[in-house]
Amino acid sequence: MTNSLPEMAHIWQHTLNWLPQEEQQHKFQQLYELIIEGNRQLNLTRITEPQEFWEKHLWDSLRGIAPQGGLIPSVLENASVIDIGTGAGFPGVPVAIALPNCEITLVDSTRKKVNFIDEVLTKLTLSNSKTVVGRAEEIGHHPQYRKTYDVALIRAVGNAAVCAEYTLPLLKQGGLAVIYRGNWTVEETTALQNAVSQLGGVIELVDQFTTPLTNSMRHCLYLRKVATTAASFPRAVGIPTQKPL
């Protein structure tokens, strides 16, 4: 029997101005149980204690779509959202649970992880979500995905320039990429400007915040797509990580 996740209603309310309904709370618990079970076969996450899972996986995933404590306007209006390198489903699956009106595409290059997420989506009846097995460098050129999304999420996949190259080609003009980071410095923002502008974006916001249970400092970078991304991006598989812009 898996432990119960804490509800933390007051924290959701205070930090995100959002409160999970009972059904959403139940889906968070189901997700947790499936991940604990899936961890026996697959290396999904090292974060398995209920409080830590709540903070580092659930709360952190949703904090990214609520910069400075309020949900991104487009996600309130049936946005199309893509999560690149979703792994065990973060941040995309909590976002799919919280925002049933959004369409979520969950991408990972590892088939085993995607198979696991498919099972999660079925068991949680998350009909607003679908999965794709593939590499960001390839799906970024595919007409079915390129220039298609309002929001692109990416957490723990590579350095910020790599994340920018993976996400910006997928966005419609005016769309927003959200890059989840731990530590971040002003110097890193300066160093990232050139890569982002080559990809047709601007750094709109660097949001610094502390997590509600352990007070750890984290950052999310918000990149707005303001121009077309050149057809040469993303570069071929492996090049973005070998030679970040």
Contact (Cβ atoms closer than 8 angstroms) between residue 163 and residue 170: no
The tokens 């959403």 sit on which residue?
24
Distance (Å) of CA 18 to CA 2, 66, 113, 146, 203: 26, 10, 29, 31, 26
Shortest distance (Å) from residue 43 CB to ligand SAM: 10
Q: Which residues bind ligand SAM (CB under 6 A)?
A: 84-87, 90, 107-110, 113, 135-137, 155-157
Shortest distance (Å) from residue 190 CB to ligand SAM: 25
Residue placing its CB nearer to ligand SAM in the complex, 128 or 241: 241
Does 110 appear as a known binding residue?
yes
Residue placing its CB nearer to ligand SAM in the complex, 10 or 111: 111
The CB density around residue 81, as the number of other CB atoms within 10 Å, is 28
Does 136 appear as a known binding residue?
yes
Does 83 appear as a known binding residue?
no
Shortest distance (Å) from residue 194 CB to ligand SAM: 21
Does 33 appear as a known binding residue?
no
Contact (Cβ atoms closer than 8 angstroms) between residue 83 and residue 104: yes
Residue placing its CB nearer to ligand SAM in the complex, 76 or 236: 236
Distance (Å) of CA 143 to CA 18, 140, 146, 186: 35, 8, 5, 36
Q: What is the DSSP letter of 228?
A: P
Closest residue to ligand SAM: CB criterion: 87
Q: What phi and psi, each to the nearest 5 degrees, are found at residue 229?
A: -85, 135
Residue placing its CB nearer to ligand SAM in the complex, 113 or 181: 113
Shortest distance (Å) from residue 167 CB to ligand SAM: 11
* Lookup: tokens for 230: 């050149």
C-alpha closest to that of 221 among 193, 186, 180: 180
Does 233 appear as a known binding residue?
no
Residue placing its CB nearer to ligand SAM in the complex, 78 or 110: 110
Binding-site residues, in ranges, read 85, 90, 108-110, 136-137, 155
Binding-site residues for S-adenosyl-L-methionine, in ranges, read 85, 90, 108-110, 136-137, 155
